[in-house]
Copies of this chain bind each other. A is one copy, B any other.
Amino acid sequence: MNGETARRTPGVRHQDTADPADPAGPRRMVALDRFEALRLLGGVSFGRVVFTQHALPAIRPVNHVVDGGDIVIRTHEGAALVSHTQQAGDPGVVVAYEADAIDPATHLGWSVVVTGYARMVTDPRDLARYRAALRPWVHRTMDFTVRIQPEEITAVRLVPWSE
């Protein structure tokens, strides 16, 4: 497989349509800029917040809104995430946030990964606005509204090799 890949010549189209494990054939990754990444994120309703819990990697699917370049989520889970961001003067805890839209058959689509500081939203007007826009998936008595300020955004589009 590695040998096969090494023999490929850049710029030459290779059709792998005979490969049942990869019906879409070869594809390539196109890096997207910050603006396009946030536009794609804003166009979907949910993603996954990634954080560290008890020194282990943790991930939870949540819904989100993009507001002024920040990602805003409401979370019931991830108490570890919120406990850090509740302390005044704390710059926040670093989390990652991921959303994607990848076709299960062709694996064409896009993926956006944001890394940034997560902080509790405490302003009452902001809270009211976000709570109206973001309905939690499951009713619980306690939830937190968290803003993630992107420091680094890595976004790619997976397109057919021939495009």
Residues of A within 8 A of B (CB): 1-2, 5-6, 8, 14, 19, 21-22, 26-29, 44-46, 48, 50-52, 56-61, 63, 94-96, 98, 100, 102, 104-105, 107, 111, 113, 115, 131-135, 137-143, 158
Contacts and interface: CB of A to CB of B under 8 A. Distances in A.
A144 to B, nearest CB: 11
A61 B100 contact: yes
B1 A96 contact: no
A139 B107 CA distance: 13
Contact of A107 (B95, B105, B131, B137): B137
Contacts of A138: 27-29, 158
B137 A59 contact: no
Given A1-B131, A48-B48, A48-B98, A57 B141 contact: no
A65 B129 CA distance: 42
Nearest to A49: B57
